[in-house]
Amino acid sequence: MTVKQQFLVLLSTLITLNISAQTAQGPADVKFIETVEIDRSVNPNVDTILKKSLPQVDITQRGTLRTPEEEEAYQKLKRRVIKLYPYALMAKQIYETSAQATSNMSNKEKKSYLKTKEKELRDRFENEIKALYTTDGPVLVKLIHRETNRTTYELLRESKSWFKCVFYQFAAKNHGYSLKDTFDPIVDKDIENMVQLLKSEGQLPVYSGI
């Protein structure tokens, strides 16, 4: 896939995130309350034991020793997630805001809106997207599906012709991945663990909604 083709795939994806939006909501935040109580069951006349309940701590991944090859792959994935995750969040934002903006528009009005939005995105992000490598594609489509719950192919197909979607899919296949790839937190645990780790370290942005 050439740089121009990859730019068009990503740009078209971001533009077409507005049709039939069904945003998946994550689990509600759980708040843990720290409690303190006195236990005198051992010897109520002599002993007093202080019991304290601490907040729950979730361990996402145990530390492991990696070979030099594994460490190199780990660092490459880390750099890719840091670089590409903001695009996935941008896709999510466009997905939600555009769905809201076009909900009562006619097909003609939607087409005009998408054309205007495409120009805005092209002017703002063209140079950045051109800097992406073709090897970023597999991680990018996973992250977009993780954030929107829609595959890149599905998003393209909603407003692009069948021929263009097949062309983009063929270009992706030539580089070893598919625009129909989905994100599974179990199968793609390396990406999921990396996202969670980088968020906990403050190295990834957090989406606050529209």
Q: What's the pLDDT band for 30 if we cut at 50, 70, 90?
A: very low
pLDDT of residue 141: 92
SS3 66: coil
Listed range (31-35, 39-43, 163-167) with the worst mean pLDDT: 31-35
**What digits encode the pLDDT tens for the residues 38-85?**
455 555 565 555 555 665 655 555 556 889 999 999 999 999 999 999
Average pLDDT over residues 93-116: 81
Rounded Cα distance between 112 and 210, Å, is 22
For Cα atoms 66, 67, 68, give the angle at the middle one, nearest 5 degrees.
115
**What digits encode the pLDDT tens for the residues 114-153?**
778 777 777 777 777 777 788 888 999 999 999 989 898 8
pLDDT of residue 94: 77
| pTM as predicted | 0.68
pLDDT higher for 202 or 206? 202
pLDDT of residue 101: 84
Task: List all residues 6 or more positions away from 54 whose beta carbon is below 8 Å from its beta carbon.
Answer: 34
Rounded Cα distance between 49 and 158, Å, is 64
pLDDT of residue 28: 37
At residue 36, what are phi and psi to the nearest 5 degrees?
A: -130, 135
- The shares of helix, strand and coil residues in the chain, as percent rounded to the nearest 5, are 55, 5, 40
